[in-house]
């Protein structure tokens, strides 16, 4: 006879009771804030499909990172968008490339801000794919040395964490070996281990100008229908030396976050991607939803699913609300 002995509503009666028994809490220290850095001076170009987010030249990126740090956000994730793109993505691993310069500037202005470098070729190639093209195909093994060079130049510029997002096989071990060869043994790797071929990246591609010029990414990113395969990707990346694991996107993949959390003992990170952000903004602008409330509910659900950290374009506004 559960009822009337048991009444779960007893613990929901007041805000103080609810707060005391709350299982999942959010704090600014849970967030990682992505920044899109472009060349030029005094550029702050709003991204139409991501209200509140802009392409930023270096001085604005530094200011934005400062604001994030002062709100208690511990890390930024950097994407570089070069003026010059070519078939080999050569600006991805240039010592004076836009992302390498951004890393240096942010680290020198705000030494205690963690800088995470997204390592991938798609923002740097003229064809918009994440690897080299041979015979109309994105080739795996020939791409690995380029990703390794990008990782090394970013770490030498001062990046605290290297985050490969290209989904080539074997890149974690290639990057680990390359970092170790130049004595960067202490730089951790956050692997985009379970990264799906997702329609939720649409607005990002406007922000990073990285839309593939032919075909799509289904030949290297994961099929959204697969869960067991995500566990295999995670296991392989851990064996190759990943220090942290990412699941991306977050919201349609909460089950994957949970399964990964239950199987591994390393930090789990989820990427609350561009369209997950844009959908909330668009609905809120129409007056259809309470944007702040949805934002906090979504971020809470991602943590509840088992993520330790959330990469999110909401980082600044959520940190402000959480105070
Ligand atoms: C690839 C990369 C992408 C995102 C992060 N890293 C795009 C892609 O794979 O097409 C997407 C992030 C987002 O949608 O917010 N460098």
CB-ligand 1 contact for 33 (6 Å cutoff): no
For residue 43, report the phi and psi dihedrals to the nearest 5 degrees.
-100, 125
CB-ligand 1 contact for 165 (6 Å cutoff): yes
Closest residue by Cα to atom 14, ligand 1, is 201
Contact partners, residue 213, CB within 8 Å, separation at least 6? 126, 127, 128
Give the mutation target among 127, 200, 201 for probing the ligand 1 site: most ligand atoms within 8 A of CB.
Answer: 201
Per-residue pLDDT, 323: 86
Per residue, what are the HEC states of the chain? Answer: CCCCCCCHHHHHCCHHHHHHCCCCCCCHHHEEEEEEEECCCCCEEECCCCCCCEEECHHHHHHHHHHHHHCCCCEEEEEEECCCCECCCHHHHCCCCHHHHHHHHHHHHCCCCEEEEEECCCCCECCCCCCEEECCEEECCCCHHHHHHHHHHHHHHCCCEEEECCCCCCHHHHHHHHHHHCCCCCCCEEEEEEEECCHHHHHHHHHHCCCCCCCCCCCCCECCCCCHHHHHHHHHHHHHCCCEEEEECCHHHHHHHHHHHHHCCCCEEEEECHHHHHHHHHHHHCCCCCHHHHHHHHHHHHHHCCCCEEEECCHHHHHHHHC
Quote the CA–CA distance of 304 and 302 in Å, as a whole number.
Answer: 5
pLDDT above 90: percentage of residues in the chain: 98
Count Cα atoms within 13 angstroms, Cβ side, for 102.
Answer: 34
Per-residue pLDDT, 223: 98
Task: Give tens-digit pLDDT for 41-53.
Answer: 999 999 999 999 9
**Within its chain, how far is the Cα of 301 from the centroid?**
17
Structure-token pair, residue 16: 């103080």
Per-residue pLDDT, 1: 81
The Cα-based distances of 211 to 129, 143, 207, 215 in angstroms read 8, 19, 10, 10
Give the mutation target among 32, 49, 116, 122 for probing the ligand 1 site: most ligand atoms within 8 A of CB.
Answer: 122
The candidate with the shortest Cα–Cα distance to 221, out of 186, 196, 248, 185, is: 196
Task: Give tens-digit pLDDT for 86-107.
Answer: 999 999 999 999 999 999 999 9
The Cα-based distances of 285 to 9, 130, 288 in angstroms read 34, 33, 8
- Domain limits of the chain? 25-322
Which ranges of the chain have pLDDT less than 70? none
Which residues are catalytically annotated? 195, 248
Whether the Cβ atoms of residue 129 and residue 72 lie closer than 8 Å to each other: no
Quote the CA–CA distance of 141 and 251 in Å, as a whole number.
Answer: 32
The Cα-based distances of 264 to 21, 32, 232 in angstroms read 27, 21, 12
The Cα-based distances of 10 to 2, 4, 18, 171, 311 in angstroms read 14, 12, 10, 52, 35
Q: How far away, in angstroms, is 15 Cα from ligand 1 center?
A: 39
Whether the Cβ atoms of residue 116 and residue 65 lie closer than 8 Å to each other: no
CB-ligand 1 contact for 201 (6 Å cutoff): yes
CATH class of the domain whose range is 25-322: alpha beta
Q: How far away, in angstroms, is 27 Cα from ligand 1 center?
A: 24
């Amino acid at each position: 006879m559960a009822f009337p002995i048991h009444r779960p509503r007893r613990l929901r009666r007041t805000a103080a009771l609810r707060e005391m028994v709350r299982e999942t809490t959010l704090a600014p220290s849970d967030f990682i804030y992505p920044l899109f850095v472009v060349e030029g001076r005094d550029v702050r170009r709003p991204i139409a499909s991501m209200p509140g987010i802009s392409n930023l030249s270096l001085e604005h990126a530094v200011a934005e990172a400062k604001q994030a740090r002062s709100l208690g956000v511990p890390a930024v994730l950097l994407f570089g968008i070069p003026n010059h793109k070519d078939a080999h993505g050569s600006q991805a691993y240039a010592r004076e490339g836009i992302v390498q310069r951004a890393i240096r500037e942010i680290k020198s202005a705000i030494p205690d801000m963690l800088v995470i470098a997204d390592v991938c070729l798609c923002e740097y190639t003229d064809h918009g794919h994440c690897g080299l093209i041979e015979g109309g195909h994105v080739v795996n093994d020939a791409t690995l040395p380029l990703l390794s060079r990008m990782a090394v130049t970013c770490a030498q510029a001062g990046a605290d964490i290297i985050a490969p997002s290209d989904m080539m096989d074997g890149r974690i071990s290639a990057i680990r070996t390359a970092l170790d060869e130049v004595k960067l043994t202490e730089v951790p790797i956050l692997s985009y281990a379970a990264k799906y071929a997702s329609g939720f990246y649409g607005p990002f591609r406007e922000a990073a100008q990285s839309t593939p010029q032919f075909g799509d990414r289904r030949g290297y990113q994961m099929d959204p229908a697969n869960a067991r395969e995500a566990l295999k990707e995670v296991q392989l990346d851990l064996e190759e030396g990943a220090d942290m694991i990412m699941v991306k996107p977050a919201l349609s993949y909460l089950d994957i976050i949970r399964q990964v959390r239950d199987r591994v003992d390393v930090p789990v990170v989820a990427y609350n991607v561009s369209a997950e952000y844009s959908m909330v903004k668009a609905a809120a602008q129409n007056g259809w939803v309470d944007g702040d409330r949805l934002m906090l509910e979504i971020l809470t659900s991602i943590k509840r699913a088992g993520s330790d950290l959330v990469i999110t374009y909401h980082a600044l506004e959520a940190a402000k609300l959480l105070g």
